[in-house]
Structure 1
Amino acid sequence: MNLLQNEKYIEDIRSVAAASLPWERLSNSSFLITGAGGMIGSFLIDVLMYRNQKYGMNCKILAFGRSVHKAEVRFRDYWEQKTFEFTAHDINLPLGNEKYRTVDYILHAASNTHPVAYATDPIGTVTTNVIGTNNLLDFACRHKTKKFVFASTVEVYGENQGDTDYFKEDYCGYINCNTLRAGYPESKRCGEALCQAYRKQRELDVVIPRLARTYGPTMLSSDTKAISQFLKKGAAGENIILKSEGTQLYSYTYVADAVSGILYTLFYGKAGEAYNVADTASDIMLKDLAGIIAEVSGTKVVFELPDAVEAAGYSKATKALMDGEKIRKLGWKPGNDIKRGLCRTLEIFKADKKVGRGETK
């Protein structure tokens, strides 16, 4: 599926690209994006390339990922353009590429982000968020980066201790660090701490958008998060499989809104600050989320026990709602509540018989 041939997806890109932001700061600049083929990175690349094509922004996109072949498929519309360059690189390895004198902006969005990946590649999960982040931060300092954006997650808050309804940016809940599943949230916490260390010791301007559970048409076909599985089943006209009672209450964000939130933190975020990218209109119980997808798809919700690998990667948090007041003060407003975002995703998926084809990691 070529997303850039889907009108609804193009509408999402246009919407973010038309946001009232100081885009002129990106004119004639360079922007490095890790995790370029992932859900967040690929959408941001589409937005920036749209700005280049329609507004003459002339921002050079330096896309980092692991697979040249997958990148060639996903970014075939840009592959020969002068403002796009893809580099195959595992960021757990040092970045010795010195051909760029400066890299003006960096978004670090490379990470394992779903349960099966946490369970089957726990070492890679931790090292990407710690060693990889350190490599990128050092690279940023050597290349005179103006701003470094570290894409973090709601999972850094851990489990709600019953002392709050919504997580503010200074909340710190419980994580049992002596478990396999702890590798993701603990390494993301460590990544944030590294950002603070580089800000203090090497005076790097770092900002940290913390994303709610993100979904949308750029999700990978390999994504095993519950919402991703529900959407793929719904798009295929199959019953939605719920592998729990579904009483987990979470914040979600449509990918277009997540990327616009990242851009607001890039342009307006204060150095060293974290910002929750979340909105109460997308807070929902898992069973209700499954119900919406089943209703829109004309299918049913059925219950099934998870296998051992899936269960090992599941979050233990049963209530994880994010307070988005701080980012709203920057001017950010989401364009999609949970039902609209789910419907848009399903419509885009259904435009192609093979859900997820052409997406990369």
Structure 2
Amino acid sequence: MLKHKLYIEDLEQINNIDIPWKQLENHSILITGGTGLIGSVLVDSLIYRNEEKNAGIDLWVLTRNEEVLRERFGEYLDKEYFHYLIQDVSNQIDIDDPIDFIIHGASKGDPYSFAHDPVGVMNANYLGTYQVLELARRKNCTKVLFISSGEVYGIVDVKSRSIIENGERGIKETEYGYLDVLNPRSCYASSKRAAETLCLAYINQYSMNVCIARPCHTYSATMLYSDKRVIGEFIRHGLQKQNIIMKSEGTQLRSYCYVADTATGVFCILLNGESCLAYNIANRNSIVTIKELAYIIAKKSAVKVRIIKPGEVEKKGYSGIEHAVLDPAELEKLGWQPRYDLPNGIDRIVRILSEENKQER
């Protein structure tokens, strides 16, 4: 767990949101993708809850990389409540103990994987979801939450949309656009769409309690160095005092969300969300183009922005979606509100990672 005071403050704030936490007390929960960008924060939040609030949550973490697991959670691996599985989520998941809740977040969500391992991307999203749902069916789980993606919407026609006073009206959970299934990058969005439909199939066929979270572009101090998503690359370059490299004109408009706010959204959906429904997780105050994002990070890091042409392989991982602004109204109805806009969220990450890097040296 990161020990920076700002990160501990994030965990405290996550645990203080007004949701029925008692539903988790003295119950078991499995988090797949537990060392990932979002998953690791969810795990840290439940560790914090056990340590600070004596919640008695039996915590299971599934991840492919034991080295990363030990680096992130090493001091907690011997705790009686902490259990882990080292495996590919696409394979059968065998746990002897009861499992009451599952948050399924295992996925390959970065452009490098889209370009170099599209089969692995599709397997993790579809076969991984199948294995999770089969485990949930065998264990008669109370509830499953599938962390999907805002990319399932594809290219939505926004020209006919009305504009509200404070900005673009975002895409609602029932609005879907065009997805080119023969585009190599569609390995991610297509398999997320299929996995969502699989969730609905299990609900209808086995009367299971499953809901879906669709996060927008989430950013965090827990981003792995192997993660090649745009915001992670920009922040890493800024921290290393290197110029930020853009490989497009940066006109794509995106919703962003600080990971602590995304985590509160996930827990809110898990404990308050309705089965068979999907919920967008997006901050209304964090809507910018990629170019604007680059200059926000460059200003905080005192570096410059440069534009260069991408290679042909890199292009395969790029999204053709120009407008990816999500409407969080359904999640807000559950009582969710984000705390950090983009400049404040970026500032927290830069401060956390700057001090972490100093300590490592």
TM-score under structure 2 length normalisation? 0.95
Opposite residue 111 of structure 1, the aligned amino acid is S
In the alignment, the residues of structure 2 paired with residue 199 and residue 277 of structure 1 have an alpha-carbon distance, to the nearest angstrom, of 22
Secondary structure in 1 aligned to 2:250? coil
Secondary structure in 2 aligned to 1:148? strand
User: Does structure 1 residue 99 correspond to structure 2 residue 103?
Assistant: no
Opposite residue 340 of structure 1, the aligned amino acid is N
Structure 2 equivalent of residue 130 of structure 1: 126
Structure 1 equivalent of residue 254 of structure 2: 250
Structure 1 equivalent of residue 23 of structure 2: 25
2:69 paired residue among 68, 71, 79: 71
User: Does structure 1 residue 39 correspond to structure 2 residue 37?
Assistant: yes
Aligned residue pairs total 352
In the alignment, the residues of structure 2 paired with residue 185 and residue 76 of structure 1 have an alpha-carbon distance, to the nearest angstrom, of 34
Please state how far the C-alpha of 1:354 moved relative to its aligned partner. Answer: 7.6
Structure 2 equivalent of residue 156 of structure 1: 152
Check whether the contact 1:29–1:60 (CA below 8 A) recurs between aligned residues. Answer: yes
User: Does structure 1 residue 112 correspond to structure 2 residue 108?
Assistant: yes
Q: Alpha-carbon deviations, 1:120-146, whole Å to 9, x = none?
A: 110010111111111110110100110
Structure 2 equivalent of residue 277 of structure 1: 281
Q: Which segment is superposed worse, 71-80 or 321-330?
A: 71-80
In the alignment, the residues of structure 1 paired with residue 141 and residue 240 of structure 2 have an alpha-carbon distance, to the nearest angstrom, of 44
Check whether the contact 1:152–1:192 (CA below 8 A) recurs between aligned residues. Answer: yes
Overall identity of the aligned pairs, in %: 38
Alignment of 1:196-345 (within 5 A): 196-345=200-349
Q: Alpha-carbon deviations, 1:49-92, whole Å to 9, x = none?
A: 10000100010110001122221111112111111111101121
Secondary structure in 2 aligned to 1:135? helix
Please state how far the C-alpha of 1:228 moved relative to its aligned partner. Answer: 0.8
Please state how far the C-alpha of 1:25 moved relative to its aligned partner. Answer: 0.8
Q: Alpha-carbon deviations, 1:282-327, whole Å to 9, x = none?
A: 1111111111101111111111111222211011101110001110
Check whether the contact 1:248–1:285 (CA below 8 A) recurs between aligned residues. Answer: yes
Alignment of 1:10-21 (within 5 A): 10-21=8-19
Secondary structure in 1 aligned to 2:224? coil
Secondary structure in 2 aligned to 1:348? helix
Secondary structure in 1 aligned to 2:285? helix
1:253/1:174 CA distance change after superposition, 3 Å: same
Q: Alpha-carbon deviations, 1:155-202, whole Å to 9, x = none?
A: 000012234442100001111001211110000000000000000100
Check whether the contact 1:236–1:350 (CA below 8 A) recurs between aligned residues. Answer: no
In the alignment, the residues of structure 1 paired with residue 6 and residue 139 of structure 2 have an alpha-carbon distance, to the nearest angstrom, of 37
Q: Alpha-carbon deviations, 1:220-266, whole Å to 9, x = none?
A: 11111111100111111211111111111000111111110000101
1:116/1:338 CA distance change after superposition, 3 Å: same
Check whether the contact 2:136–2:144 (CA below 8 A) recurs between aligned residues. Answer: yes
2:59 paired residue among 50, 58, 61: 61
Alignment of 1:140-179 (within 5 A): 140-162=136-158, 163-164=160-161, 165-179=169-183
In the alignment, the residues of structure 2 paired with residue 333 and residue 211 of structure 1 have an alpha-carbon distance, to the nearest angstrom, of 14
Secondary structure in 1 aligned to 2:254? strand
Opposite residue 99 of structure 1, the aligned amino acid is D
In the alignment, the residues of structure 1 paired with residue 243 and residue 95 of structure 2 have an alpha-carbon distance, to the nearest angstrom, of 51
In the alignment, the residues of structure 2 paired with residue 247 and residue 354 of structure 1 have an alpha-carbon distance, to the nearest angstrom, of 35
Check whether the contact 1:116–1:309 (CA below 8 A) recurs between aligned residues. Answer: no
In the alignment, the residues of structure 2 paired with residue 114 and residue 134 of structure 1 have an alpha-carbon distance, to the nearest angstrom, of 21
* Structure 1 spans left out of the alignment, 5+ residues: none
In the alignment, the residues of structure 2 paired with residue 154 and residue 121 of structure 1 have an alpha-carbon distance, to the nearest angstrom, of 21
Check whether the contact 2:40–2:222 (CA below 8 A) recurs between aligned residues. Answer: yes
1:169/1:5 CA distance change after superposition, 3 Å: same
Higher RCO (CA-CA < 8 Å; seq separation 6+): 1
Opposite residue 255 of structure 1, the aligned amino acid is V
Please state how far the C-alpha of 1:98 moved relative to its aligned partner. Answer: 4.3
Superposition CA RMSD, Å: 1.3
Opposite residue 28 of structure 2, the aligned amino acid is S
Check whether the contact 1:118–1:125 (CA below 8 A) recurs between aligned residues. Answer: yes
In the alignment, the residues of structure 2 paired with residue 133 and residue 312 of structure 1 have an alpha-carbon distance, to the nearest angstrom, of 25
Check whether the contact 1:129–1:187 (CA below 8 A) recurs between aligned residues. Answer: yes
Check whether the contact 2:19–2:272 (CA below 8 A) recurs between aligned residues. Answer: no
